Amino acid sequence: MSHIAHDLIARGAARVVDHPEAEAPVRHQVEADRNFGLPKALYGATVGCYLAFLAIVGSAFANPELAIPMAIFVVFILAGFGVPAIWTRLRDNASEPATLGEFEARGIMTNTGRLTARDATIQMMVLPLLLVSWGVAVAVIAAVVR
């Protein structure tokens, strides 16, 4: 690249231009998009399933010694979803989470390609729903064995 510039200067074909008068706004190399691309309802359903699991297991095995561990689990779940929720509301984040209608219309782009809203919802909700099912199964087994 520098050889081309030196050749242009040597031939006298180089053109010198003035610096632009108006200052362009500062643009960062990385745009701050802290949005995860999914509607809030899916995150709420996930948190609800995790807390439902704790409620089921906590009530099935009610014991005063389990109160502190269960409270710690609740705090970890709320912090695990609450901190990213706060993170998406930071000052430099210009994007908004997708609404359910937008999510249904566009789906979401993943590392392996675009997923429809139905497929993305199934992928996201499999683990929380299995966890709730497992909690119910363990509670029923414990009730039958007693």
Give the tens place of pLDDT for each residue, 99-146.
Answer: 899 889 998 888 888 899 999 999 999 999 999 999 999 999 999 998
Helix residue ranges, H only, the chain:
2-11, 40-60, 67-87, 100-106, 117-145
Q: Please, which residues bridge with residue 78 across strands?
A: none
Q: How far apart are CA 22 and CA 7, in angstroms?
A: 31
In the chain, the number of structural domains is 1
Beta-carbon count within 10 A of 58 CB: 19
In a domain, 78, yes or no: yes
In a domain, 70, yes or no: yes
Mean pLDDT on 32-61: 89
Of 5-9, 76-80, 141-145, which gets the smallest average pLDDT?
Answer: 5-9
Domain around 70 = 35-145
Highest mean pLDDT among 76-80, 85-89, 96-100, 101-105: 76-80
pTM: 0.74
In a domain, 13, yes or no: no
In a domain, 135, yes or no: yes
Highest mean pLDDT among 12-16, 24-28, 96-100: 96-100
Query: Mean pLDDT across the chain, nearest whole number?
Result: 85
Alpha-carbon distances, residue 135 vs 48, 67, 128 (angstroms): 14, 17, 11
In a domain, 25, yes or no: no
In a domain, 80, yes or no: yes
